[in-house]
A and B are shown apart, each in its own frame.
Chain A
Amino acid sequence: MTRSPEGPSVAGDGARRAPSPAGRPRRGGTDWRKRFEVALLTGPAIIIFVTFVILPVGMAAYYGFYKWKGYGPPTDFVGLQNYVTIFKDSSFHEALQHNGMIVVLSLVIQGPVAVVMALLINQKMRGRSLLRVLIFVPYVISEVIVGTGWSLMLQTSGAVNDVLTKIGLPGWTVDWLSDPHVAIWSLMLIISWKYIGFAVILFLAGLQGIPEEVFEAASIDGASYWQTQRHITLPLLGPTIRIWAFLSIIGSLQLFDLVYIIWGQYVASTAGTSTMATYMVLNGRNAANYGFGNAVAVVLFLISLVIALTYQRFVLRRDTEGALTEGKK
């Protein structure tokens, strides 16, 4: 029996597969067994997750209603005032804009390049393993050292400008970091450099899920390489791409380390690369306004949540319903 490609689900099967909480499986007696299995398998994960993530998040939200210097219990209750200040603050608006640009540019720059690279590397070629390791190297390096290295390189008196001068292109030397017109592109360059390995690895793993038979069928039908990629590989890679996009969006919204280390919290706002997270640290932790900082964190959380839910509902929906593969009999 052959498998048809996943993707648009056949209506009949989709209906059969739709989860129906009311209609239990035929064997009602094993309901308890199923609940036991669910509890057993998810229990440890949920316990650890709630203890170390959900509870601290709740506490942070609580602090957001106070003005608090961080020492001793919070005493100065201000209700929603922190939130009002945030939404009126023009630096926050700027940070929000920057985040928006980063989200969009990340998807647009990294997605296509990573797909192409994954396709290329997936072929049988010599040194394929080594290639995979080398591409992944930027992702392995911690953000701190990436920041240190790049800021040394992109400083006005740093390595990049130095090289440009040495090879005779002094006109090309710009202020990579503090010129507002250039800075955001420098940031995108560094982000793409670091995270493209992550995208490639994810896509590679996704490509493994596409059986060889599909390609054979295509070549027997006479499809060229690019036709195969366009009509078969990419749609089959669809779920992986959508997952990667989701993670990329959330990561872009929370971007902090790279900007903080390379630009510093102050220059980031003048250079046009501040993000909500740097705004949070600048006005929260570093100003000893812990209540305010936690309020910003909650705002960041809510914005991410809204975007995530929207994304799930409209984009990932195809993957969540009827995605249990139907075999063609």
Chain B
Amino acid sequence: MATMTAAPSAREARAPRRRHLGGASWVTYLAAFAFVGICLGPVLYIIIGGFRTNSQITTDPSGFPSTWQLGNYADVLQKSMFWRQVGNSAICGVFTTLGVVVLGVMASFVLARYEFSGRGAMYSLFAAGLMFPMTVAITPLYIMIKSLGLMNSLAGIILPQIAFALPVTIIILVPFLRAIPKEIEEAASIDGASRLGFFFRMVIPLSVPCVVTTGILAFIASWNSYILPLFILNNETSYTLPLGVQSFASQYSVDTARVLAFTSLSMIPALVFFSLFERRIVGGLTGAVKG
């Protein structure tokens, strides 16, 4: 199952017309830069906004900070609650992702490659869950979590998040798992592996790019989730990062500059997580079925 990475580049040298497919022209770079510029513009606005005062933002909306107010960012970083919230968010994020990935892959594998009478119904069950946003389900969900005794705990956040992330995960994973060639499965059974063995030893490595994608989506959703922690967590020490914004918004007003600083900082861990794993999206079925 070696992916034979050496072979493609050798082939590149042999077929000169490959150049269009292989290397990138300056047009590509230009388009990429333009695209990135558009994506990042507003983000830069948010980050730089954290360096200004509220008054400046009102009077000169698009200007640069006249004096760079480091106080906002420093303030946020020094508050011990910030790091604590980062920790809580990280715990929730990691466990949610693990749960979603593990349960999602198992369920998707069954839905993709087994044939049994309840298959269509099961798939529809999960797909139906996609249609119900958290905003609405929150009141009965709260009662459910309370009756399970999970109030004010991170588990009360993690388990529902796993449940709500399963539909998207399964919808994305099922086609990818279906696309694994039957030949591999047959080869594995010829070699004497059971279906479960095939699952553990071959399916999982092959589906890594897809699984990484769904894992990232689940992590981001958990990182940014606001409504559920708001209702479930009562103890300030167990707050997750989005709830931390509350401490910059008082009863009647909002400290915009600080909020911008706070949220700029809270994006960083999610981005770090993403950049660690995005490499693994590449790879996969390349050369998997060489003759």
Question: So, do A and B actually touch in the complex, CB under 8 Å?
Answer: yes
In the complex, A281→B136 CA distance in Å?
9
Task: Assess the B159–A48 pair: CB atoms within 8 A.
Answer: yes
In the complex, A253→B131 CA distance in Å?
9
Task: Assess the B171–A140 pair: CB atoms within 8 A.
Answer: no
Closest A residue, CB atoms, query B22: A124
From A56, A152, A240, A250, give the contact of B130 (CB < 8 A).
A250
B115 touches A (CB below 8 Å): yes
In the complex, A201→B23 CA distance in Å?
20
B226 touches A (CB below 8 Å): yes
What per-residue 1/0 map shows which CB atoms of A211-245 lie under 8 Å from chain B? Answer: 11101100110101100100000000001100100
In the complex, A34→B35 CA distance in Å?
49
Give the size category of A's interface with B. 35 or more
A223: min CB distance to chain B, Å = 9
Task: Assess the A205–B166 pair: CB atoms within 8 A.
Answer: no
What per-residue 1/0 map shows which CB atoms of A14-58 lie under 8 Å from chain B? Answer: 000001110001000000001101100110111011011111111
| B 179-203 contacts with A by CB, 8 A | 179-183, 195-196, 199
> Contacting chain B: which of A76-84, A88-96, A103-111, A155-163?
A155-163
Residues in chain A near residue B104, CB distance under 8 A:
45
Decide: A280 near B291, CB < 8 A? Known: A123-B23, A225-B21.
no
Task: Assess the B242–A56 pair: CB atoms within 8 A.
Answer: no
Decide: A157 near B61, CB < 8 A? Known: A56-B137, A254-B133.
yes
From B109, B135, B179, give the contact of A325 (CB < 8 A).
B179
A11 touches B (CB below 8 Å): no
Decide: A142 near B36, CB < 8 A? Known: A129-B279, A211-B289.
no
Task: Assess the A38–B110 pair: CB atoms within 8 A.
Answer: yes
| B 244-280 contacts with A by CB, 8 A | 245, 256, 259-260, 263, 266-267, 270-271, 274-275, 278-279
What per-residue 1/0 map shows which CB atoms of A176-213 lie under 8 Å from chain B? Answer: 00000000000000000100111001101100111111
Task: Assess the A162–B60 pair: CB atoms within 8 A.
Answer: yes
Task: Assess the A137–B43 pair: CB atoms within 8 A.
Answer: yes
From A148, A319, A324, give the contact of B182 (CB < 8 A).
A324
Task: Assess the A205–B137 pair: CB atoms within 8 A.
Answer: no
In the complex, A227→B179 CA distance in Å?
24
Residues in chain B near residue A56, CB distance under 8 A:
137, 140-141, 144
| A 271-285 contacts with B by CB, 8 A | 277, 280-281
Decide: A136 near B274, CB < 8 A? Known: A38-B114, A224-B20, A243-B175.
yes
From A158, A297, A325, give the contact of B181 (CB < 8 A).
A325
From A125, A139, A212, give the contact of B286 (CB < 8 A).
A212
B204 touches A (CB below 8 Å): no
In the complex, A124→B182 CA distance in Å?
30
B71 touches A (CB below 8 Å): no
**Binding site of A, secondary structure by majority: helix, strand, loop or mixed?**
helix
Residues in chain A near residue B117, CB distance under 8 A:
21
A201: min CB distance to chain B, Å = 6
B249: min CB distance to chain A, Å = 11
Task: Assess the A37–B24 pair: CB atoms within 8 A.
Answer: no
Q: How many A-B contacts are there with CB distance less than 8 Å?
A: 328
In the complex, A42→B8 CA distance in Å?
39
Closest B residue, CB atoms, query A200: B35
Task: Assess the A202–B213 pair: CB atoms within 8 A.
Answer: yes
Decide: A193 near B38, CB < 8 A? Known: A19-B115, A280-B136.
yes
Decide: A150 near B110, CB < 8 A? Known: A120-B32, A208-B209, A208-B283.
no
A315 touches B (CB below 8 Å): no
Residues in chain B near residue A228, CB distance under 8 A:
21
Decide: A123 near B291, CB < 8 A? Known: A41-B110, A44-B103, A308-B131.
no
Residues in chain A near residue B11, CB distance under 8 A:
216
- Most chain B CB atoms below 10 A, which of A63, A123, A228: A123
Residues in chain B near residue A123, CB distance under 8 A:
21-24, 28
Residues in chain B near residue A143, CB distance under 8 A:
224
In the complex, A124→B242 CA distance in Å?
37
Decide: A211 near B287, CB < 8 A? Known: A19-B115, A44-B106, A135-B35.
yes
The 8 A-B residue pairs with the shortest CB-CB distance, nearest first, are A142-B224, A59-B140, A125-B24, A52-B163, A304-B131, A297-B136, A56-B140, A159-B62
Which B positions have Cβ atoms within 8 angstroms of A? Answer: 8, 11, 15, 17-18, 20-24, 28-29, 31-32, 35-36, 38-40, 42-43, 45-46, 49, 57, 60-63, 99, 103-104, 106-107, 109-111, 113-117, 119, 122, 124-133, 135-137, 139-141, 143-145, 148, 159-160, 162-164, 166, 168, 170-172, 175-176, 178-183, 195-196, 199, 209-210, 213, 216-217, 220, 223-224, 226, 242, 245, 256, 259-260, 263, 266-267, 270-271, 274-275, 278-279, 281-289, 291
Which A positions have Cβ atoms within 8 angstroms of B? Answer: 1-3, 6, 19-21, 25, 34-35, 37-38, 41-42, 44-46, 48-49, 51-60, 63, 70, 116-117, 120-121, 123-125, 129, 131-146, 148-150, 152-153, 155, 157-163, 166, 193, 196-198, 201-202, 204-205, 208-213, 215-216, 219-220, 222, 224-225, 228, 239-240, 243, 246-247, 250, 253-254, 256, 277, 280-281, 290, 293-294, 297, 300-301, 304-305, 308-309, 312, 319, 323-327
15 contacts between A and B (CB under 8 A): A45-B103, A49-B126, A49-B163, A51-B159, A57-B137, A59-B140, A125-B28, A153-B42, A193-B42, A208-B281, A209-B179, A253-B131, A290-B139, A327-B183, A327-B289
